[in-house]
């Protein structure tokens, strides 16, 4: 039987059972629309997280020393009592590979520490500080800091940058009115740590009201190196030292409960003249310029981060640098977990929708086959081959899938277009960080929509195989006698 005749018969069968066709097609269209709309919001969340972190903090990939702990660009992801972040070994080799790579657009080193901001010798605030090179950091992340007052320190100088919320909290706790140009004592959040005095050179707008980004500060890399003990003899060739010995971490709850806590052994130290202990005349120490714990890497436009990560890993290993290369999602840490969890949950939802579609289509076709038993038997008795019967049933499914898919795609695009046009306002701090703004604008992906449509048609055709096989198993004689 020729295909035009099969198309005509298939269309006629669907038209004759209009109510069933509309109900099954409507369910398929609604399911497809939900999948496309859901993907639109997930894509918006992924893009928002990318803007919040990759473009402002993590780069496309980041480098860290090999460790079993979960390391992010903000330090260990397991809390202050977890394994400390170690400096990269053989940084000169890392620098050589990055500078020679045609994949890399820019890179920036940083050190990370949880520090206490002290007014006098009393702890008044705790902040996660990134020790950076201001020139490289600005080149890598030009959109990160929006200054309300001041700016970056000059290369070679010392400086501290805080956001307005942290500064307000500090002034409230300490009962002061510190501002731009005032100096703060900074110490690691460990008992008996050194103290360095840093001028407040910049005050930024709050990135978010709450969450990990609300407690981020920036300082010059050398000050943080000296605090963490990343030093070399002033006359020696720089070489990255071993990581700082572990020390007990202050209890943050006890630290800020009631009156400010007096720190033991926190007398001021001039870090410009730090000396090593030992017999005889002390040896002056200086910050090791090669001591970097994290290196964020921005790739050139169009370079795939996963493929680039593998290439960089191989190049670094060949150069003898013991470094692990990780994706920006890992660099974002716990903040990226909700998006990953939502994607997993939505994948489960899609699976459920697919199973429901298979069940509905299969049952609808089985009913259709049972109602047309005599017709199928007559066609077989008149010489209709088994392939003709199979193709007829699958053509009905194809008709239904294509038509329902078109309706579902149009419906989804209308919903996404409307939501994107007006922008859905969100008040939640978490959602603002997730979608990188106070409005949610779902992403409309034509390619993704067409792919989902094709997948739905494929699932429908799969669901039609069993009813088609059932029709083929009918005896022509018994089928004719069914009426």
pLDDT in tens, 298-341: 999 999 999 999 999 999 999 999 999 998 888 877 766 666 67
The domain limits of the chain are: 3-51+338-480, 66-322
DSSP state of 145: -
262: Cβ contacts below 8 Å, ≥ 6 apart: 121, 122
- Per-residue confidence (pLDDT) for residue 299, from 0 to 100: 95
pTM as predicted = 0.69
Split the chain (483 residues) into runs of 10 and give each run's mean pLDDT.
72 79 86 88 81 86 87 73 75 94 95 87 80 95 90 93 90 86 88 81 74 79 92 62 39 42 39 45 75 95 92 94 89 71 75 80 77 69 73 84 92 91 77 72 88 88 80 63 56
- Per-residue confidence (pLDDT) for residue 201, from 0 to 100: 96
Determine the length of the chain.
483
Cβ atoms < 10 Å from Cβ of 410: 13
- Per-residue confidence (pLDDT) for residue 433, from 0 to 100: 64
- Per-residue confidence (pLDDT) for residue 472, from 0 to 100: 67
- Per-residue confidence (pLDDT) for residue 274, from 0 to 100: 47
Helix (H, G, I), strand (E, B) or coil at 481: coil
| Distance in angstroms (rounded) separating the CA atoms of residues 263 and 266 | 6
- Per-residue confidence (pLDDT) for residue 241, from 0 to 100: 44
C-alpha distances (whole Å) from 136 to each of 106, 141, 393 are: 8, 8, 64
4-50 confidence digits (pLDDT tens) = 777 787 777 777 778 888 888 888 898 889 889 988 888 887 777 77
- Per-residue confidence (pLDDT) for residue 239, from 0 to 100: 46
CA-nearest of 290, 270, 274 to 282 is: 274
In sequence order, the β-bridge partners of residue 440 are: 424
| Distance in angstroms (rounded) separating the CA atoms of residues 101 and 103 | 5
Helix (H, G, I), strand (E, B) or coil at 84: coil
HSE-CB of 9 using CA atoms within 13 angstroms: 18
User: Would the CA dihedral through 66, 68, 72, 73 be positive or negative?
Assistant: negative
In sequence order, the β-bridge partners of residue 216 are: 128
| Distance in angstroms (rounded) separating the CA atoms of residues 283 and 274 | 9
- Per-residue confidence (pLDDT) for residue 242, from 0 to 100: 41
- Per-residue confidence (pLDDT) for residue 205, from 0 to 100: 84
| Distance in angstroms (rounded) separating the CA atoms of residues 29 and 418 | 19
């Amino acid at each position: 039987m020729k295909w035009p005749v099969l198309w005509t018969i298939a269309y006629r069968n669907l038209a004759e059972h209009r109510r069933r066709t509309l109900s099954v097609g409507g369910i398929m269209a609604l399911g497809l629309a939900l999948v496309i709309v859901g993907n639109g919001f997930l894509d918006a969340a992924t893009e928002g997280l990318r803007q919040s972190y990759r473009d402002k903090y993590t780069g496309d990939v980041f480098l860290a020393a090999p460790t079993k702990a979960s390391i992010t660009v903000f330090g260990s992801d397991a809390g202050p009592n977890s394994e400390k972040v170690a400096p990269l070994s053989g940084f000169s080799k890392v620098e050589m590979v990055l500078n020679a790579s045609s994949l890399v657009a820019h890179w920036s080193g940083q050190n990370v520490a949880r520090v206490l901001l002290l007014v006098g010798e009393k702890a008044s605030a705790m902040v996660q500080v990134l020790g950076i090179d201001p020139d490289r950091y600005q080149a890598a992340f030009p959109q990160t800091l929006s200054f309300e007052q001041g700016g970056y320190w000059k290369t070679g100088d010392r400086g501290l940058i805080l956001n307005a919320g942290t500064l307000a909290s500090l002034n409230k706790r300490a009962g002061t009115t510190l501002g731009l140009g005032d100096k703060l004592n900074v110490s690691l959040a460990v008992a008996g740590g050194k103290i360095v005095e840093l001028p407040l050179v910049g005050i930024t707008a709050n990135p978010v009201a709450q969450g990990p980004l609300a407690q981020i500060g920036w300082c010059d890399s050398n000050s943080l190196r000296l605090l963490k003990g990343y030093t070399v003899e002033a006359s020696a060739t720089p070489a990255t030292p071993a990581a700082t010995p572990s020390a007990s971490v202050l209890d943050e709850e006890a630290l800020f409960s009631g009156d400010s806590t007096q720190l033991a052994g926190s007398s001021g130290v001039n870090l410009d003249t730090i000396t090593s202990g030992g017999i005889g005349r002390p040896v002056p120490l200086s910050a090791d310029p090669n001591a970097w714990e994290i290196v964020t890497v921005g790739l050139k436009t169009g370079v795939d981060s996963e493929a680039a990560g593998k290439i960089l890993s191989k190049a670094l290993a060949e150069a003898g640098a013991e470094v692990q290369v990780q994706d920006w999602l890992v660099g974002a840490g716990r903040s990226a977990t909700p998006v990953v969890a939502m994607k997993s949950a939505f994948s489960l939802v899609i699976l459920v929708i697919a199973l429901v579609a298979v069940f509905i289509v299969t049952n609808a076709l089985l009913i259709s086959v049972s109602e047309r038993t005599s017709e199928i038997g007559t066609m077989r008795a008149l010489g209709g081959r088994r392939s003709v019967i199979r193709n007829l049933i699958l053509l009905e499914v194809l008709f239904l899938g294509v038509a329902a898919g078109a309706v579902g795609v149009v419906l989804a695009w209308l919903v996404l277009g409307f939501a994107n046009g007006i922008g859905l306002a969100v008040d939640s701090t978490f959602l603002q960080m997730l979608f990188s703004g106070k409005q949610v604008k779902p992403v409309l992906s034509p390619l993704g929509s067409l792919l989902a449509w094709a997948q739905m048609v494929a699932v429908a055709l799969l669901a039609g195989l069993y009813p088609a096989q059932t029709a083929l198993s009918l005896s022509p004689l018994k089928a004719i006698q069914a009426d």
